[in-house]
């Protein structure tokens, strides 16, 4: 027997936010994190109450989400060992995939081919056909998936190019595995990092890969030459998240050092610090017209930073500049305190809790 004690309508995130996805077509931001809930925010109401609805079905952390089918559907990966398919506009769960046997950590989307790869702590990488998943019914409920074999480590990061011709994965093995998703064959291993590889991105044609590692470095790789062509040492601690603009000319990065940097990919000696957060950064995501950057951390607030001044500073400098450009965010989506401690009293009826703001509450489970 299990039950949930919570407010009837949880509008606010509680705890760290692991995943951000911006839908430019509908001007909507999707967020998901450690309270197991996916939330949708209407960016057309920017600066006011942006909350739209919540998607509740997972029973543990949501680690990653991807928008598929032009924003019509969402796939989510969770520490409850499931992947869920959602109707994005309605916020309803359509199906649950239970192929993974441990935490599902990351997802990668091939937009032009409508395929998604999933990676988890069971050392497995699976490839899913979105058109098959969205056609599932109570009668037609059989799903087949392709499997990438040979990996013996937990999968922390994945990336796939839009045409689905290249898939890369990162793990505590400290190497990047490069696969052909069409055959699931391992093409090569890229060696150079000395710690876990936490984030990956690929360019459109799958010829270049950018990786971020707990070894504090970011590396740019040529897949044709099978070697590292540039190494960025701009962070002072583990780098956990990366994103690039559509033209693959600007790289945004952050992690445990709490600083968000933008780097000119045409001249990687140029980097400026966009902002500094109060807590370690879990995810960065470009927003409207790629002139805004949404940032989530291990706390429950989400901040949006204007990139105008940072982009201007990037064109003026020819070196790494650690001075923080933006002092205040454009706006903040406020979160709530997370439950940190609890104790069941001796009467087995009352529970005392303490949250991240040190608020203490007593619950009666029979009421």
Give me the pLDDT at residue 10, please.
80
The CB density around residue 194, as the number of other CB atoms within 10 Å, is: 11
Do 199 and 126 reside in the same domain of the chain? yes
Q: Which of 87, 94, 145 is nearest to 119 (CA)?
A: 145
CA dist., res. 172 & res. 25, Å (int)? 36
String of DSSP letters for 3-39: -----SS--S-BS-EEEEEEETTTTEEEEEETTSEEE
150 in the Ramachandran plot: left (φ > 0), alpha (ψ -120 to 50) or beta? left
The sign one gets for the Cα dihedral 302, 304, 310, 311 is positive
CA 27 – CA 139 distance, rounded (Å): 35
Looking at the structure, tell me whether residues 27 and 143 fall in a common domain: yes
Comparing C-alpha atoms, which of 287, 288, 295 is closest to residue 254? 295
Does residue 10 sit within a domain?
Answer: no
User: Tokens standing for 318?
Assistant: 């020819």
Residues 150 and 206 in one domain: yes
Question: Do 181 and 162 sit in the same domain of this protein?
Answer: yes
Q: Tell me, yes or no, whether 64 lies in a domain.
A: yes
Mark whether 330 and 353 lie in a shared domain. no
Task: Say if residue 319 is in the same domain as residue 349.
Answer: no
Q: Does residue 5 form part of some domain? A: no
Tokens of residue 15, six digits: 């705890």
Question: Are the C-beta atoms of 58 and 43 separated by less than 8 Å?
Answer: no
The verdict on 317 and 366 lying in the same domain is no
Task: State the pLDDT at residue 60.
Answer: 96
Q: How far apart are CA 320 and CA 126, in angstroms?
A: 39
The verdict on 365 and 221 lying in the same domain is no
* Within-domain flag for 3: no
C-alpha–C-alpha distance, residues 243 and 318, integer Å: 22
What pLDDT is recorded for position 355? 84
Tell me whether residue 26 is in a domain: yes
Q: Mean pLDDT by 10-residue block, N- to C-terminus, for the chain (367 residues)?
A: 66 94 97 97 88 95 98 98 96 95 98 97 97 81 85 97 98 98 96 99 98 99 98 98 98 99 96 97 98 98 97 84 91 89 90 89 86
Number of residues assigned to the chain: 367
Q: Kindly report the backbone phi and psi dihedral angles of residue 335, in degrees, each rounded to the nearest multiple of 5, phi listed first.
A: -110, 180
| 283 in a structural domain | yes
Instruction: Select from 27, 47, 48, 51 the least CA-distant residue to 39.
Output: 51
* 148 and 125 in a common domain: yes
Going from the C-alpha of 330 to that of each of 242, 257, 291, 302, the distances in angstroms are 21, 21, 11, 11
Q: How many domains does the chain have?
A: 2
pTM for the model stands at 0.93
User: In whole angstroms, how large is the CA radius of gyration of the chain?
Assistant: 21
Please report the pLDDT score of residue 138 as a whole number.
65
- β-strands 320-324, 271-276: how paired? parallel
What is the domain range of residue 360? Answer: 340-367
Say if 66 falls within a structural domain. Answer: yes
Residues 106 and 197 in one domain: yes
What DSSP element (H or E) covers 132?
helix 130-134
260 and 334, same domain (yes or no): yes
Q: Would you call 225 exposed, middle or buried from its count of C-beta atoms within 10 A (0-12, 13-18, 19+)?
A: exposed
**Are 362 and 215 found together in one domain?**
no
Q: Is there a domain that residue 28 lies in?
A: yes
Q: Domain containing 43 — which CATH number?
A: 2.130.10.10
């Amino acid at each position: 027997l299990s039950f949930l004690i919570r407010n009837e309508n949880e509008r606010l995130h509680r705890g760290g936010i692991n995943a951000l996805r911006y839908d430019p077509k509908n001007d909507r931001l999707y967020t998901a994190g450690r309270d197991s809930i996916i939330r949708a925010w209407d960016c057309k109401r920017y600066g006011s109450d942006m909350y739209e609805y919540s998607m509740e079905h997972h029973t543990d952390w949501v680690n990653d989400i991807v928008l598929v089918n032009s924003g019509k559907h969402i796939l989510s990966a969770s520490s409850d060992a499931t992947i869920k398919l959602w109707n994005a506009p309605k916020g309803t769960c359509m199906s649950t995939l239970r192929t993974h046997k441990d935490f599902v950590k990351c997802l990668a989307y091939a937009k032009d081919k409508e395929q998604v790869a999933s990676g988890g702590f069971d050392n497995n990488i699976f490839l899913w056909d979105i058109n098959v998943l969205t056609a599932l019914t109570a009668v037609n409920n059989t799903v087949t998936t392709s499997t990438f074999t040979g990996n013996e480590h937990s999968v922390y990061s994945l990336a796939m190019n839009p045409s689905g011709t290249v898939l890369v994965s990162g793990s505590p093995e400290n190497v990047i595995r490069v696969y052909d998703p069409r055959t699931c064959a391992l093409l090569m291993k890229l060696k150079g990092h000395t710690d876990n590889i936490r984030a990956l991105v690929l360019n459109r044609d799958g010829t270049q890969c950018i990786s971020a590692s707990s070894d504090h470095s970011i590396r740019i790789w040529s897949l044709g030459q099978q070697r590292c062509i540039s190494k960025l040492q701009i962070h002072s601690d583990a780098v956990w998240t990366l994103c690039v603009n559509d033209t693959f000319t600007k790289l945004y990065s952050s992690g445990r050092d709490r600083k968000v940097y933008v780097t000119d990919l045409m001249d990687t000696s140029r980097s400026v610090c966009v902002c500094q957060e109060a807590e370690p950064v879990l995810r960065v995501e470009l927003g409207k017209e790629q002139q805004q950057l949404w940032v989530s951390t291990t706390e429950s607030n989400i901040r949006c930073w204007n990139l105008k001044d940072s982009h201007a500073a990037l064109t003026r400098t020819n070196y790494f500049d650690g001075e923080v450009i933006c002092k205040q965010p454009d706006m903040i989506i406020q979160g709530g305190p997370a439950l940190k401690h609890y104790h069941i009293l001796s009467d087995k009826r009352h529970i005392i809790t303490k949250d991240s703001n040190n608020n203490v509450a007593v619950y009666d489970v029979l009421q």
